[in-house]
């Protein structure tokens, strides 16, 4: 798609995200529109500034779609090596891990979008963490963190909570 204006490209990027079944990486969009990844990052920033609900997940950009079901937050605590066990417990019980939230003493609340819905997503996320030598946000807080969990219904959320309790990951009051 060479030879189009920046404004036309941004509209096309928004359409591509609307039509996508899942996250789309900036690299994939850059290839599709024959521009640099940085141009796409700028396009997305401008689309967001114009009101577009675009989330940046570890696997790419995702257009907000008025999520169905319910969202609840859970407080968790675990060692860094237990991250896979925690994420699998949530997705195996039918939940989606929307994000991770920590309370930083200097910056306040820090949120990382995850969008983890399946064991495949868990493995992709962990591969990216390892490839980049990244540390979990919960390392900043001694393992204590929140997750926003999206579930189709209350019964599924209760199953997620029980699963986290069984894994001894749910932070006790």
Only one residue has tokens 């399946």, namely 118
CATH number reported for the structural domain that contains residue 121 in this entry: 3.30.1340.20
Q: Is the pLDDT of residue 98 over 80?
A: yes
CATH number reported for the structural domain that contains residue 54 in this entry: 1.10.10.10
| Rounded-to-integer distance, Cα 108 and Cα 152, Å | 30
| Rounded-to-integer distance, Cα 55 and Cα 70, Å | 18
Residue 3 makes CB contacts below 8 A (sequence gap 6+) with: none
Report the mean per-residue pLDDT for the chain. Answer: 90
- Asked whether residue 79 falls in the same domain as residue 116, the answer is yes
Q: Is the pLDDT of residue 120 over 60?
A: yes
Length of the chain: 173
| Rounded-to-integer distance, Cα 143 and Cα 80, Å | 7
- Asked whether residue 57 falls in the same domain as residue 81, the answer is no
pLDDT tens sequence across 133-173 = 998 888 888 899 999 999 999 999 999 999 999 999 998 86
Residue 24 makes CB contacts below 8 A (sequence gap 6+) with: 16, 17, 60, 61, 62
Domain count of the fold of the chain: 2
- Asked whether residue 102 falls in the same domain as residue 56, the answer is no
Assign 87 a pLDDT band (cuts: 50, 70, 90): very high
> How far from chain centre, in Å, is Cα 136?
13
Assign 9 a pLDDT band (cuts: 50, 70, 90): very high
- Asked whether residue 100 falls in the same domain as residue 120, the answer is yes
Name the residue range of residue 146's domain.
70-166
Closest by Cα among 119, 114, 115, 121 to 137: 114
């Amino acid at each position: 798609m060479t030879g189009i204006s920046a404004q036309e490209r941004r509209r096309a990027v928004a359409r591509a995200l609307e039509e996508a079944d899942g996250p789309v990486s900036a690299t994939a969009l850059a290839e599709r529109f024959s521009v640099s990844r940085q141009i796409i990052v700028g396009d997305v920033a401008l689309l967001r500034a114009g009101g577009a609900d675009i989330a940046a997940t570890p696997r790419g950009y995702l257009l907000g779609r008025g999520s169905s079901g319910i969202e609840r937050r859970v407080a968790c605590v675990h060692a860094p090596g237990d991250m896979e066990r925690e994420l699998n417990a949530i997705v195996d019980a039918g939940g989606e891990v929307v994000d991770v939230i920590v309370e930083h003493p200097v910056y306040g609340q820090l949120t990382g979008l995850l969008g983890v819905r399946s064991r495949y997503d868990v493995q992709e996320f962990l591969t990216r963490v390892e490839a980049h030598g990244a540390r979990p946000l919960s390392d900043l807080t001694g393992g204590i963190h929140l997750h926003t969990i999206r579930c189709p219904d209350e019964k599924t959320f209760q199953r997620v909570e029980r699963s986290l309790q069984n894994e001894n990951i749910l932070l006790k009051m």
